[in-house]
Structure 1
Amino acid sequence: MSTHQAVQNETCKDIQLNGFAKLSTNKLAGLIGINPASFIDKWKKLHTSWNNLCKDNHLKDGGMYRLRRHSCFIQNLNESALTLTAHRAHWQPTEFNALHGGYDRMFEPIEQDITHDQSFLDLITELGKCFATIHPTEKWFIEAHQFRINTNGGIGRPTPEGAHRDGVDYVVVMMLGRHHVKGGETRVFRADGPTGVRFVMDEPFSAILLDDEKVIHETTPIQPESEHFTDCYRDTLVLTFRAGGFQSPQNNM
């Protein structure tokens, strides 16, 4: 059995058993089927695009701490095709996001250098294949979100909506890097009970994969490690996979 197949089997087993799977950088590289050193090198180059994110103008808490970009894809599993869609708004029902749900939020698209990069596309493609072994489907409707949470106002909130589900089938949170911050504890709990785990994602290019039906998740606020640091932030890539079409007022009625 190849490393790729072994990692995929273990990952799927964890998701089915626990509702989530934590993947180290090496395991994520194995899931994609690439040498870890090459994987790290490629994603270090991609990470520079997080310096070009745009202010999130939709934060209802008045914060200025979140920068982001957003793009959507459709993965056709039968044809092994991943297609970038026309740029569209991000929409969630208030059932899943009471703070920012119920209306269209338009963000700047992810830069073309990223959406056309083979390493970026391979990540999405292999994650989609992995999820399809658990939840067979012909298509995944995928939303990709680049996030930078900074502490320019003293504190940054990765999940201002609190503990939540996203209203999709699967969620991936990939850690790109933490720069002079403390806090940011990731919390994952069963949606049907008190069982859960808490940990800090601090390994660059590691990830957590979530079954959105089974678990709720949140990340606690971040603060500067020291008052002497001024450029403090936490960078992540969030991918959501949904079989029933993109979330919209029409699809969620």
Structure 2
Amino acid sequence: MPEISADLRSAPSAGAPFWRLAAADFGLTGRDRDVLRRTFHDATEPDRWLPNGATYRRRAYQLFDLSVADLVLRPVPEPPPYVQSKAVNTLVGGVERRFRVIAPDHPATAPAGRIAATVARGLTAAGVLSAREVPHCLVDAHYMSISAPGSPAPEGKHRDGLIAGSAHLIERRNIKRGTGISAIYDGAEPDRVLSRFELREPLDSYVFDDERVLHHTTDIDASEPGEPAYRNVLLIGFRRHE
């Protein structure tokens, strides 16, 4: 798999704790977007780690290694289990979770990597990522499909235990307007809302400094009950090597 890098069309301001992006920022082709859409349908599997036997979430996983200095990502063929601390994930913290892996030679690797590289460039521009402090970091790509009714964030308002993260809408079908509202909260004053918005169009995205803010997305409902309804989002996380 070739190395992946990207140019950023609109850079965030230095010191920004979060910002939003749209499709034009990523430079993906129509074929790229089609590949990502199909991946959520063809390559995800039920998430067996949801509490209380819930079945509304499907997912797949991919791991990259990022050289921060040159913003080049390399896919990791056999990622280790994914683990979060109990402090940041009260539902499954401390559990070694394995998900279906998107292999380096999968067609989705290139567009997903380009999205991650674009986010990485913005994080360096904002001063969130620094090659001097973190020469290399791990980049998680979570392919998350939530069926309605369902909860994109069953853990509630939270941090992810990362350096930074981002969320990218890939496909939205039959989701009721006013549900699935995302919000960013001040990390020092968790009850203070910094921004609230709805991801509606493909590649509507947001990026956040996980050490400075918290985030949450409300539950989703179907516009037309009884018809297929889902919200497919690519979640990207930047974390330090253990």
The TM-score bracket by the shorter chain reads 0.7 to 0.9
Name 1:129's counterpart in structure 2: 121
Summarize the Cα distance change of 1:84–1:115 in structure 2 as closer, same or farther, 3 Å threshold: farther
2:204 is equivalent to residue 191 of structure 1: no
Q: Is the alpha carbon distance of 1:211 and 1:57 closer, same or farther for their aligned partners in structure 2, counting shifts above 3 Å?
A: same
TM normalised by structure 2 equals 0.85
Report the 3-state secondary structure (helix = DSSP H, G, I; strand = E; otherwise coil) of the residue aligned with 2:152. coil
Q: 2:143 — aligned with what?
A: 146
Whether 1:87 aligns to 2:79 is yes
Q: CA deviation at 1:224?
A: 1.1
Partner residue in 1 for 2:168: 174
Q: Give the structure with the larger helix fraction.
A: 1
Q: Given that residues 115 and 121 in structure 1 are in contact (C-alpha distance below 8 angstroms), is that contact kept between their aligned partners in structure 2?
A: no
**8 A Cα contact 2:32 2:108, kept in partner:** no
> Which residue identity is paired with 1:168?
L
CA contact (8 A) 2:64 2:74 kept: yes
The residue type paired with residue 177 of structure 1 is E
Counterpart CA distance in 1 for 2:30 and 2:10 is: 17
Say if 2:184 and 2:195, in contact at 8 Å, map to a contact too: yes
Q: How does 1:26-175 map to 2 (within 5 A)?
A: 26=24, 28-29=25-26, 34=27, 39-52=29-42, 53-78=44-69, 81-85=72-76, 86-112=78-104, 114=106, 117-133=109-125, 134=127, 135-137=129-131, 138-151=135-148, 155-175=149-169
1:212 deviation in Å?
0.4
Alignment partner of 1:239 is 2:236:
yes
Q: Deviations over 1:74-94 (max 9, x none)?
A: 112346542222222110001
Aligned partner of 2:33: which letter? W
Instruction: State the partner residue of 1:7.
Output: 10
Give the conservation status (yes or no) of the 8 Å contact 1:71–1:88: no
Q: What do the CA deviations read for 1:148-195 (whole angstroms, capped 9, x no partner)?
A: 0002xxx20101111100011110100112100121111111111113
- The Cα offsets for residues 123-161 of structure 1, whole Å up to 9 and x where unpaired, read as 22232233233121211211110000002xxx2010111
Q: Partners of 1:145 and 1:6 in 2: how far apart? A: 24
What is the deviation of 1:111? 4.7
SS in 1 for 2:160: coil
In the alignment, the residues of structure 2 paired with residue 237 and residue 176 of structure 1 have an alpha-carbon distance, to the nearest angstrom, of: 7
In terms of mean alpha carbon deviation, does 114-123 or 50-59 score higher? 114-123
Distance 2:65 2:91 in 1: 27
Could you say what secondary structure the match of 2:118 adopts?
helix
> Please, what TM-score do these two structures have when normalized by structure 1?
0.82
In 1, Cα distance between the equivalents of 2:9 and 2:231?
A: 31
Write the deviation string for residues 206-251 of structure 1: whole angstroms up to 9, x where unpaired.
Answer: 210011011111111111112242x110000000012x21xxxxx4
CA-atom RMSD, angstroms? 2.0
Gap change, CA 1:5 and 1:90, over 3 Å in 2: closer
Gaps (5+ residues) in structure 1?
Answer: 246-250
Q: 1:111 to 1:224 in 2, by over 3 A?
A: farther
Equivalent position SS for 2:112: helix
- Tell me which amino acid in the other structure corresponds to 1:51: H
| Residues 60-112 of structure 1, C-alpha deviations (whole Å, 9 max, x = no match) | 13210000001211112346542222222110001100111111011110255
Letter in 1 for 2:185: F
Asked if 2 retains the 8 angstrom alpha-carbon contact of 1:40 and 1:205, the reply is no
Q: Tell me which amino acid in the other structure corresponds to 2:36.
A: L
Q: Distance in 1 between matches of 2:56 and 2:221?
A: 11
Give the length in aligned residue pairs: 225
Given residue 239 of structure 1, which amino acid in structure 2 is its aligned partner?
I
